[in-house]
Amino acid sequence: MKGAQRIDLHRHLDGNIRIGTILELADQNGVVLPATDVEGLRPFVTITTPQPGLMDFLAKFEWSMRVLATPDDCRRVAFENVEDAAREKLDGVELRFSPLFMAREHGLDPAAVVEAVADGVAAGVEKFGVPACLIGILSRTFGVEDCSRELDALLAFREKITALDLAGDEAGFPPALFVEHFRKGRDAGWRVTVHAGEAAGPQSVRDAIELLGAVRIGHGIRSIKDPALLDLLAERGIGLECCPTSNVQTSTVASYSGYPLREFLRRGILATLNTDDPGISGIDFDHELQVAAPACGLDSEEIRQCLANARAITFLEER
């Protein structure tokens, strides 16, 4: 899309670890992998066929998390994410991560992970010149108490974090459990984006907005089932961080053709195109623009509108 800014609003840096990096860190940290070369390891860390659901998709993170044995490993991954954004010719990238998810396998201090990730992103921005910001994730799958620990780790470096997110087992851990967490996040000056309407229904989206203060929604695909919610999204300017390939791979939708991106745009909703977990999905930003979006039925002007929407709702300070 010539002349349009390319900003990826929804990219998990812990879901975008290069296979070569996994191999090198495994060798460095004494982790035995199921394969010892890139092509051999690829089926274990990248989605090759649609999964039965979100939690099956998340299981693909196993080996990449096992090799993160030190804060320096986390720093490297963060730095390489910015390098990848530069290689994809992005004009900006919002990188989100769960410090507890990255820390858990080797018992790292989640605060040390936050510091390392922030340092890695800052070094990448300085070297490659791609504007980037960090979104801290609370991994609801670990439960309310562990999310409080995770929040404390993020708050220890609050000036390096731009927004707060909630991700993981959406169906098992609804937004109502995390009201106090997000009050603290908003009090810290952070914006709020919440994974909702991916593995649970429209009420999850409504609760993310009304209870947690979300100004953007990660995925939000099931909003399509509630016309009143669609009106609310449009009226309040709540952006949808749409990730078509990811949603096909998690079986949230059966196919690209069933993805309601055109309907979101038709209703005046600020829908955007994003990669989610490009390393896990085996894609890049161009794939979502050139393959996924047309398969969803978007024409060139509608794709351009998605890019314009991303620019309008980005948390990046400089647009």
Catalytic annotation present for 288: no
d(CA 186, CA 191): 7
Percentage of the chain beyond pLDDT 90 is 92
Residue range 108-133: mean pLDDT, rounded: 98
Q: How confident is the model at residue 58 (pLDDT cuts 50, 70, 90)?
A: confident
State the catalytic residue, choosing from 150, 198, 241, 288: 198
Contact 309, 6 (CB under 8 A): no
pLDDT at 174 over 50: yes
What average pLDDT does range 35-46 have in this prediction?
Answer: 95
> Exposed, middle or buried by CB within 10 Å (0-12, 13-18, 19+), for 175?
buried
Question: Does the pLDDT of residue 292 top 80, yes or no?
Answer: yes
Dump pLDDT digits (tens) for 64-110: 999 999 999 999 999 999 999 999 999 999 999 999 999 999 999 99
- pLDDT range class, residue 254, cuts 50, 70, 90: very high
* Average confidence (pLDDT) over 204-211: 98
Dihedral, 50, 52, 55, 58 alpha carbons, nearest 10? -20
Mean pLDDT, to the nearest integer, of 245-251?
93
CB within 8 Å of 313: residues ≥ 6 apart: 9, 215, 216, 237, 239, 270, 272
pLDDT exceeds 60 at position 319: no
Instruction: Answer yes or no: is pLDDT of 197 > 70.
Output: yes
* DSSP symbols for 51-118: -SSHHHHHGGGHHHHHT--SHHHHHHHHHHHHHHHHHTT-SEEEEEE-HHHHHGGGT--HHHHHHHHH
pLDDT at 1 over 60: no
Does residue 318 carry a pLDDT above 60? no
Mean pLDDT, residues 145-160: 98
Q: State the pLDDT confidence band at 2, using cuts at 50, 70 and 90.
A: low
What does the mean pLDDT of the chain come to?
Answer: 95
What percent of the chain stands above pLDDT 70?
Answer: 98
User: Rounded to the nearest 5°, which phi and psi values hold at 27?
Assistant: -65, -40
Distance CA 95, CA 11 (A): 5
